[in-house]
Amino acid sequence: MSKPLNITVCGAGAWGTAMALHCERQGMSTTLVARRPEQATQMSRERENTDYLPGHAFGSGLKVSSDLDEALGDADVIFLGAPSYALRDWCARIAQLESGILKSDALLVSLAKGLEVSSGKTPCGIIKEELPASIVGCLSGPTFAGEVAQGKPTAMTLAFGDDCGIQVQALQNAISGPNLRVYASSDLQGVELGGCMKNVYAIAAGCCQGLGLGDNALASLLTRAVAEMVRVGLDLGASLETFYGLSGFGDLVATCHGEWSRNRTFGEEIAKGSSAAEIISNQKTAVEGYRTAKAFHLACSSRSIEAPILEQVYQICYESKPPMQALNDLMTRDLKKE
Ligand SMILES: NC(=O)C1=CN([C@@H]2O[C@H](COP(=O)(O)OP(=O)(O)OC[C@H]3O[C@@H](n4cnc5c(N)ncnc54)[C@H](O)[C@@H]3O)[C@@H](O)[C@H]2O)C=CC1
Ligand SMILES: O=C(CO)COP(=O)(O)O
């Protein structure tokens, strides 16, 4: 039998913590790295992440650290669990470590679902720019941290570009288990874009809910969101079928239904009269769809991609457009073929 993988998870928000819990339960040597030493100390003492994922005790084998040097040297796989807007900082910290500290075949796996506004880059685009020698991929799908931490079942997509080699297969096997079924993909761009776009559509779904528009409206929104995801994604170099998979349609459905999503809740609060900028300025947890809406607005405008839903969410978030007005503008566009 092959040796268990050594896993390091950088970023102790809800999702990084849930992935660390999962990896430890899968029997892997796992270290969770917090950005702030005081958070690492608190988690070591309490054996729980009370700030971001309360109520889920750490398994006895889960190590906690804030020392990147120590945590990365032995890692076969490094999950980057920070939000997209904090990813460049994490990568820069890793790049500053003594050269050669990372194993040459270590896999860097992004868990983030947002585009960088200044560059329009996906999380893996950022990682590749900051750490050009590394092997970079992402893991994405319908995975609310709280449910994964509870051990509820789900499925995900593990995507690496052209180097879907033996280490990637080893990772797919190592993290798959009775509660998580992991599929492999070589469409890294598509898997990342699906995860990023669904967060913007979740804001629209929250607006739908907040305005009390009903189930028909939500179903229509999600269906047209998939059509838009495909149109935007193809223009940005992704493959069609990826958007019908777990990181596209799957995560769209998860995020736009139920009570878990921060993006959906954000949309609901706007529809009830709060200002987007104000909510964000008081928000401790990640609402990736807010910045990502702006990044897609810039990308679609510069490439003349027609993306009416993304555009309306942008105007709601950045131009104080009332959600009811956005709905009206969507409904009264020129009619066309499905
Ligand atoms: N929470 C979830 O259920 C899931 C989240 N994701 C994605 O994972 C990524 C991380 O999200 P969560 O773990 O939910 O985050 P979170 O909302 O639980 O925590 C935010 C994290 O970001 C850090 N942070 C905040 N501002 C920062 C800054 N300026 N610089 C550096 N770090 C900063 C905080 O210390 C904290 O670790 C996001 O891209 C999210 O879309 C993906 C799947 C599931
Ligand atoms: O990506 C997620 C579930 O797959 C989490 O969504 P939110 O960030 O909207 O909570």
- Give the pLDDT means over successive 10-residue stretches in the chain (338 positions): 88 98 98 98 98 98 96 96 98 90 94 98 98 95 98 98 79 98 97 98 98 98 98 98 98 93 98 97 97 98 98 98 98 97
Asked if residues 137 and 165 have their Cβ atoms less than 8 Å apart, the reply is no
Question: Which residues 6+ apart lie within 8 Å of 166 measured at CB?
Answer: none
- Run of H or E including 158: strand 154-160
Contact criterion met (CB below 8 Å) for 24 and 30: yes
- C-alpha span between 311 and 308 (Å, rounded): 5
Annotated binding site for NADPH: 15, 35-36, 52, 113, 145, 262, 288
Ligand 2 centroid–CA 119 distance in Å is 23
Task: From 9, 10, 15, give the residue whose CB has the most ligand 1 atoms within 8 Å, as the site to mutate.
Answer: 15
The ipTM estimated for the assembled molecules is: 0.98
Q: Domains in the chain, ordered, with CATH?
A: 6-186 (3.40.50.720), 190-331 (1.10.1040.10)
**Cα distance between residue 157 and residue 245, in whole Å:** 8
Q: Are 82 and 112 in contact (CB under 8 A)?
A: yes
> Which protein residue's CA is at the shortest distance from atom 33 of ligand 1?
86
Q: Is 73 exposed, middle or buried (0-12, 13-18, 19+ CB in 10 A)?
A: middle
Query: Is 294 considered catalytic here?
Result: no
The amino acid sitting at 211 is: L
DSSP-assigned beta bridge partners for residue 180: 154, 177
> Nearest CA to 176 among 166, 168, 186, 165?
168
What kind and span of H or E run contains 72?
helix 68-72
Predicted local confidence at residue 141, as pLDDT: 98
Tokens 């896999």 belong to which residue? 107
Task: Tell which atom from ligand 2 comes closest to the C-alpha of 266.
Answer: 9
Residues contacting 141, CB < 8 A, separation 6+? 154, 155, 156, 157, 246, 247, 250, 251
Answer whether 5's CB lies under 8 Å from 77's CB. yes
Q: Annotated catalytic residue: which of 152, 198, 284, 337? A: 198
CB 206 within 8 Å of CB 196: no
